[in-house]
Chains A and B, each alone.
Chain A
Amino acid sequence: MKKIILLLLSIFILSCSKKEEFLVFGTNDMFPPFAHMVQDEIIGFDVELAKEIAKELGVQLKIINMSFDELIPAVASRDIDMAICSITITDKRQEIVDFSNPYYEASQVAIIRKEDIGLFENIHTKEELGESKSLSAQVGTTGALMANQIAAGKPVLELDTWGQALIEVSSKKVDAAIIDMESAKAFTYKYSNLIPLDIEFPTESYGVAINKGNSKLLNSVNSTIANLIESGRYDELVKSHIDNYKE
Chain B
Amino acid sequence: MKRSILIFLLSIICFTSCSKKKEEFLVVGANEMFPPFGYRVGNTFGNEMDGFDIALAKEIAKDMNKTLIISPMKFNDIIPALVKGEIDIALSAMTITDERYKIIDFSTSYYKASQVIIARKGDKRFEKMLTKSDIDRNTTIATERGSTGTKIARQITRAELVSEVNSLDLVLMELISENVDAIIIDRDIARAIANRYDHITILPIEFEIENYGVAIQKGDIEMRDSINKTLERIINSGDYISMVEAYIQGYLTE
Q: Chain A: residues with CB nearer than 8 A to chain B?
A: 1-5, 8-9, 11-12, 15-16, 19, 24, 26, 29-30, 36-37, 64-67, 70, 73-74, 77-80, 161, 163-164, 166-167, 170-171, 190-194
Nearest neighbor of A7 in chain B, beta-carbon distance = B86
| A170/B177 in contact, CB under 8 A | yes
Contact among A5, A67, A74 for B14, CB-based, below 8 A: A5
Other contacts beyond A1-B88, A167-B172: 19, CB < 8 A:
A3-B84, A3-B85, A3-B86, A5-B17, A9-B14, A11-B10, A16-B4, A19-B4, A64-B46, A66-B41, A66-B42, A70-B43, A79-B44, A80-B43, A163-B167, A166-B173, A171-B176, A190-B177, A192-B179
Cβ-closest chain A residue relative to B253? A164
Within 8 Å of chain A (Cβ to Cβ): is B191?
Answer: no
Query: In this complex, what residue of A is CB-closest to B47?
Result: A64
B residues with a Cβ closer than 8 A to A are 1-4, 7, 10-11, 13-14, 17-18, 22, 25, 27, 40-46, 69, 71, 84-86, 88, 166-167, 169-170, 172-173, 176-179, 197, 199, 252
In the A-B complex, the 8 residue pairs with the closest CB atoms: A163-B169, A74-B43, A191-B177, A64-B46, A78-B2, A170-B176, A193-B177, A79-B43
Residue numbers in B under 8 Å from A161 (CB-CB) = 167, 169
With the chains together, A86 CA to B112 CA distance in Å?
40
Question: Would you mind naming 18 contact pairs between A and B with Cβ atoms under 8 Å apart?
Answer: A3-B84, A4-B71, A9-B11, A11-B10, A12-B11, A12-B14, A16-B4, A30-B167, A65-B46, A66-B46, A70-B42, A79-B3, A163-B173, A164-B169, A170-B177, A171-B197, A191-B173, A194-B177
Chain A residues with CB under 8 Å of B197's CB are 167, 171
Kindly provide the distance from the CB of B226 to the nearest chain A CB, expressed in whole angstroms.
17
- Name the distance in Å between B77's Cβ and chain A's nearest Cβ: 12
Within the complex, what minimum Cβ distance (angstroms) separates A62 from chain B? 9
Closest B residue to A171 by CB, please name it.
Answer: B197
Q: Is the CB of A4 within 8 A of B169?
A: no
CB-nearest residue of chain B to A113: B177
In the complex the two chains form, is B43's CB within 8 Å of A12's CB? Answer: no
Q: A79-B44, A170-B176 are in contact. Are A37 and B166 (CB under 8 A)?
A: yes
> What residues of chain A lie closer than 8 Å to B173, measured between beta carbons?
163, 166-167, 170, 191
Partner of A66, one of B13, B40, B69, B71: B40
Nearest B residue to A37, CB-CB: B166
Give B88 Cβ to nearest chain A Cβ, in Å.
8
Given A64, A163, A167, which contacts B43 in the complex, CB threshold below 8 Å? Answer: A64
Question: Are B27 and A4 in contact, with the CB atoms below 8 A?
Answer: yes
With the chains together, A222 CA to B193 CA distance in Å?
Answer: 46
